[in-house]
Amino acid sequence: MERSEEIILLGPFTQLLSMDSMPLKGAISNEQLNPIIRGGIVLQAEHILKCGDYDTLYSEAVASKWRILKLEGEHVVLPGYIDAHTHICFAGSRARDFSMRNSGKSYLDIAAAGGGIKDTVMHTRQCCQHELSRLTQERASSLLAQGITTIEVKSGYGLTVADELKMLRAIKAANENVDAELISTCLAAHTVPREYNGSSEDYLKEMADELFPILHQEQLCSRVDIFIEKTAFSVIEGQEYISRAKPFNFDITVHADQFTTGGSALAVSIGAVSADHLEASTDVEVALLANSNTIAIALPGASIGLGCAFTPARKLLDAGASLAIASDWNPGSAPMGNLLCQASILACYEKLSDAEVFAAITYRAAASLKLSDRGRLAKGQQADFVIYNTDDYREILYAQGRLQPSEVWKRGKKVITTPKVYDL
């Protein structure tokens, strides 16, 4: 069935946070949020026609015979959230790892006991594509209920050409069966699989030579990621791997500076769209990122899960960097999967304004995925937005994930339903 082209007025909203005309880089004060008091949104099909004063829009709607969906009570509306870094395509559990880590066991101890990333690789390889897609759909639906309308999803638990393809095909299939939009990223360069008989350079060359052409041909993803770390791949190896991705016009992102530095410098030097993690970044790396177009992505879920330092978000913003915040939902280091809770906790420790947090999970997160059509409530943007039953936007982060959306809209379609809407 084709989407109706009728024009719809939705509102009134006690506060409408459009995030429009806000800066891509640097610190932001709450005053810059400038919410529209008693605002309205005008929709046509999948897009926003305009936002503004509800009473003015109401008069126009009546005169033009638009459909009017009236909200009763107090409501705050923001752009749909964007989780720009997840690993929600996986099978198995790492609860044993978490328990062992919290009991004082080291990474090597856990690996020796059969845990770690290779445990997830084993379970994911054993899982068929259909079941892997179903698991991905379930997790995506959980994120959608939190107001997350766009979700980046990585491969990286297959680590063979066949298994990486299985993961990316499962993500593609999941995207066709969920209301949220899934953005696929190839993370075949996550680590060298245990059984691989060759060097890390050999492994990366095999992935690039055999996997990249199929990804391009089947349009399974437009993004390639690599983990730069002592336990994964070196900067030199990363440079060679990325050079092999360039002919396919893949966008590049880097798992950078999680435990040691080097990854963010590589990300900046090759013009990566984002450098993710950054818990180990020093003032040197902060300055590099601030003076580049590479977006820094903080992953507080990994810091919470591992009990390590947070990304230096305050320093990055004050230096002029663009900061996004993502959940890093994965079975090992970041099993929480609650973006707002994590972002609220990061805000407490790094002293981030509400404006900086909302920017980091809306339009700045969109920019980290090179998506210019979402993240703001403005003319021409996708009609992706989240509504809360509250009269003050500050309640959202104050509740630290406890306050759930009353409605979530994706491409002009309501995907979370509430009874408090009346069709006039």
pLDDT in tens, 315-333: 999 999 999 999 999 999 9
Give me the pLDDT at residue 341, please.
98
- Predicted confidence at residue 352, as pLDDT, reads 98
Q: Please identify which residue in the block is written with the tokens 């300055």.
A: 287
CB pairs under 8 A, 24+ apart, for 94-98? 94/119, 94/120, 94/331, 94/332, 94/335, 97/332, 98/305, 98/335
Confidence of residue 304 (pLDDT cuts 50, 70, 90): very high
Distance CA 131, CA 313 (A): 37
Instruction: Spell out the alpha helix ranges (H) of 297-403.
Output: 300-306, 313-319, 339-350, 354-360, 363-368, 394-398
Q: What is the pTM of this model?
A: 0.96
Sign of CA dihedral 239, 245, 250, 255: negative
Sign, CA dihedral 3-5-11-16, equals positive
Minimum mean pLDDT range among 56-70, 109-123, 330-344? 109-123
Summarised one tens digit per residue, pLDDT across range 382-411 is 999 999 999 999 999 999 999 999 999 999
Question: How confident is the model at residue 182, as a pLDDT?
Answer: 98
State how far the Cα of 106 lies from the Cα of 121, in Å rounded to an integer: 20
Bond preceding residue 331 cis, omega within 30 of 0: no
- What gap in Å lies between CA 294 and CA 288, rounded to an integer? 9
Token representation of residue 18: 């459009």
